[in-house]
A and B are shown apart, each in its own frame.
Chain A
Amino acid sequence: MTQPVPASIAAIKRPIDPLWTYYLLKAAATTVAFPVTALVLYFRFHTMRYDFGAEGLRMSWGILFRNEVLLNYARIQDIHLRSNAIERALGLARIEIQTASGSSSSVMTLEGLADPEAMRDYLYSRMHGATDHKQADTLTTVLLEVAAELKTVRLALEKRA
């Protein structure tokens, strides 16, 4: 029943390079703490991995402090597409995904995607309520009806006996 993942989505494993530029700017904004934040973000950028499966997605980053988040598409509650002017100048946008968990902050933030809008559409299409539950096809329906007919015949037969 799970649909295959489009090749363009399944191919995404790493964030795109402009994200590193953005991280450098972000680190520069911390002025004195630049060496520390730059180092932290360097490792974050270089260890960030995505994996878009048929059922859900996985994102991991970090070496010393390792993080790995797994999320089922069906559990997505809302999708935020956010960007500030600096990110847009670099062609970036963040996708923040919310589940029904207790925190008000997002469960997962997808950064450095080449086409954030396409990703948003993909996630939306997999989300609960975006499409109907798959309808049974006609052959299955006919078979089920024949079975139901046979059952009534059997029940009538048993009653007569």
Chain B
Amino acid sequence: MSRLLLKWLRVPHEPAPPEGSPDSIKIFRAGANYYRWRLVVWVFSWFGSMVPLLLSALFVMGLHKLPPLARALILAGEVLFFAWLVLLLPFSYLMQRLNYEQRWYIVTDRSLRIRAGIWSVEELTMTFANIQDIRITSGPLQKFLGLADLEVASAGGGSTGPKGEQIASSHIACFAGVDNAEQIRDLIQDRLRHYRDAGLGDPNTAPATPTVDQAAANLLAEARALRAAASA
């Protein structure tokens, strides 16, 4: 069933790791409890959409002044919507499983790559040279399940909405629901240490390595200076 869905939606195969030394490639997956966490969130959101539906149905039934036809139409609409939600239930349940399975967090010596998604497949590649900060967050339920989200941010705007709330920024690579966040953090920090010019960078600002011509000219100037010093 899920194989068929993946094929039908043309979800690409496992992502190729970015170029880097082959023995440095480490592939992390979401923790086993991440699936359970998704299920909990999914159940809650399902009930979250169910409650207002029921309340509005009760409200409409309580309106005695409404013409019977209008009331019947509204209730029929609500029943149809309810049926639609129930019909989608197995499908969205399968999606939770697939979303858990279709997740890859790849770390090489130079960069990281994150792949996730079923309907909309998203893949993000970032080099460590551009990374600004690492953040680990976990809520009470995630903590109970031994999970955490590890976020790696590059420079740039996480813009704020009209009320000052943070909008999810595409500058952030999120290792969602990993059960070894500390290990991944240590690994990334270790790799970051190799970039002294990490952060906002331009390779042109690194000390330029001289060309052969420049080195030869330099040698000539030095030889002339030596002769001048010797003949003085």
Contacts and interface: CB of A to CB of B under 8 A. Distances in A.
B186 interface: no
Interface in A86-112: 88-89, 96, 98-106
Nearest to B200: A100
Interface string A66-95: 000000001101111111110011000000
Interface stretch (B74-82, B97-105, B136-144, B202-210): B202-210
A126 to B, nearest CB: 10
A144 B215 contact: yes
Interface string A40-73: 0000000000000000000000000000000000
A147 B219 contact: yes
A85 B121 CA distance: 8
B164 to A, nearest CB: 14
Interface stretch (A6-14, A15-23, A151-159): A151-159
By secondary structure, the A interface counts as mixed
Residue of B11, B222, B230 with most chain A CB atoms under a 10 A cut-off: B222
A143 B215 contact: yes
Given A88-B121, A100-B156, A147-B222, A78 B203 contact: no
Given A100-B156, A147-B218, A75 B226 contact: no
Interface residues of B, number: 58
A161 interface: yes
A121 B19 contact: yes
A130 interface: yes
Contacts of B226: 150-151, 153-154, 157
Nearest to A72: B202
Residue of A78, A143, A151, A153 with most chain B CB atoms under a 10 A cut-off: A78
A136 to B, nearest CB: 4
A124 B171 contact: no
B86 interface: no
A106 B212 CA distance: 41
A106 B122 CA distance: 14
A79 B124 contact: yes
B203 A154 contact: no
B97 to A, nearest CB: 18
Contact of A130 (B127, B157, B204, B219): B127
B175 interface: no
B120 A83 contact: yes
B170 A106 contact: yes
B204 to A, nearest CB: 7
A84 B120 contact: yes
B43 interface: no
Contact of A104 (B155, B157, B198, B229): B157
17 contacts: A74-B204, A78-B126, A78-B173, A85-B9, A88-B12, A88-B121, A104-B168, A125-B19, A128-B127, A128-B129, A128-B201, A129-B198, A140-B215, A141-B215, A143-B218, A147-B218, A151-B222
Interface of B: 9-12, 16, 18-19, 110-111, 119-130, 154-159, 167-171, 173, 195, 198, 200-204, 206, 209-212, 214-216, 218-219, 221-223, 225-226, 229-230, 232
Given A88-B10, A104-B169, 13 more contacts: A74-B202, A78-B124, A80-B170, A81-B122, A85-B10, A88-B9, A99-B156, A104-B158, A124-B127, A140-B212, A140-B215, A143-B212, A144-B210
Q: What 9 pairs between A and B have smallest CB-CB spacing?
A: A129-B129, A129-B127, A143-B215, A100-B155, A102-B157, A88-B10, A81-B123, A136-B209, A154-B226
